[in-house]
Amino acid sequence: MNSFHTSFNKQRGVALLVILLIVAIVSIIATEMMARMQLNVARTVNIKDNNQAYWYAIGAEEFAKKSLNELKSLSPDNMNLGQPWAQVFEYPIDSGGIQAELIDLQSCFNLNTLGPVAGEPDPDPDPNPDPPPPPSPGTPNAAPKDAAQAFFNLMRLSSDNIDSYTAETVRDSLIDWLDPDDDITGYGAEDSDYESLRIPYVAANAYMTNKSEIRLINGIETTYLSNLLPHVCVIPDQTFNAMEVNINTVKEESAHVIAAMLNLDLEDVKRIIASRPVDGFANTSDFFSEPNIVALNLSAAQKKWFILKTNYFMLRTKTRYNNASFRMTSIFKLDGDDGSVSVISREFGGIN
């Protein structure tokens, strides 16, 4: 009898352990299912919030296009910082907000101006063309004769850490980076130079699409790059590489651009910008009549570098919805006389 009770108690103990084990396993499975469900819910909410932030950015882009269309209609020949487009746009919304800023892409130095002349390709190209001569340094006190000289001046003005040799190296290397051939210009570099690096790559041999590409150019160093970047930009349009700067939208902190294009003292250019009317120069003649500029005796070709209207704008958009944030950079082109505006480039995240 005692033996029977002992055996029965042991069986009950084993059964209890089995039941406890089953309960533990079911609890673990239920906990895992709940965790996965919570993760899926959180992921779905994040996707929804990010999508909403994205569409807010697209809405800001459409609003900017509408504003540029109005600008083209109301002031087609004079675009300046006194106009509404130049103000930072901030719009609060439930559980978030939109911040947008339009920037004139023709108030900085377009790196693509050092590339080959834009336009239709030569229908009968020379199979063995002569390599282009290195850019001439020009007369020390005269205004530059081309974009290469102006870029050299800009590099020297942007930082005290840039000597003449470094500026010439970067200038010629940028020319080689943009041109389609493998001929080395002056102190420049082509594929053979980049392929010998510890992490090899080759020259683009094409126009840049983002100014961050300049970090790959031979001769560029981080010691001065941060000082140069605010004054340069890239217009990613394969049909446009003219050196044109809107004298009514260049800010005082970017006076380096005009100073480099004119080879003038930086402080003199800052004074010209500071004394500029609120609604900008009425015409380019007012700009050229400044005493410091009159003394330069600019040629007709050099005067064409300075304009009053802009055809390329960049929109930087930051949106927020709940815990999601979104950044987008759009580049607009004002097409033709009809005032239409098109988006020619769009990037997500990062800073342009």
Cα–Cα dist 349/115, whole Å: 28
Cα–Cα dist 290/121, whole Å: 40
- For the entire predicted model, the pTM comes to 0.83
- The pLDDT of residue 352 is 45
Residue 229: closest CA among 251, 206, 256: 256
Contact 218, 189 (CB under 8 A): yes
Does domain 109-119+127-307 sit in CATH 1.10.40.60?
Answer: yes
Report residues of the chain scoring pLDDT below 70: 1-12, 117-141, 336-339, 350-352
- The pLDDT of residue 44 is 83
- The pLDDT of residue 137 is 52
330 residue type, one letter:
S
E strands in 171-229: none
Cα–Cα dist 233/305, whole Å: 16
Beta-strand pair 324-335/232-233: unpaired
- The pLDDT of residue 128 is 53
- The pLDDT of residue 123 is 44
Contact 344, 333 (CB under 8 A): yes
pLDDT digits (tens, 9 = 90+) for 277-288: 999 999 999 999
Tokens of 53: 């932030």
Q: Which residues of 177-206 are buried (b: 16+ CB within 10 A; e: fewer)?
A: bbbeeeebbbbbbbeebbeeeeeeeebbbe
Tell me how far apart the terminal alpha carbons of the chain are, to the nearest angstrom: 89
- The pLDDT of residue 239 is 86
Cα–Cα dist 279/79, whole Å: 8
Angle at 352 between CA 201 and CA 246, to 5 degrees: 115
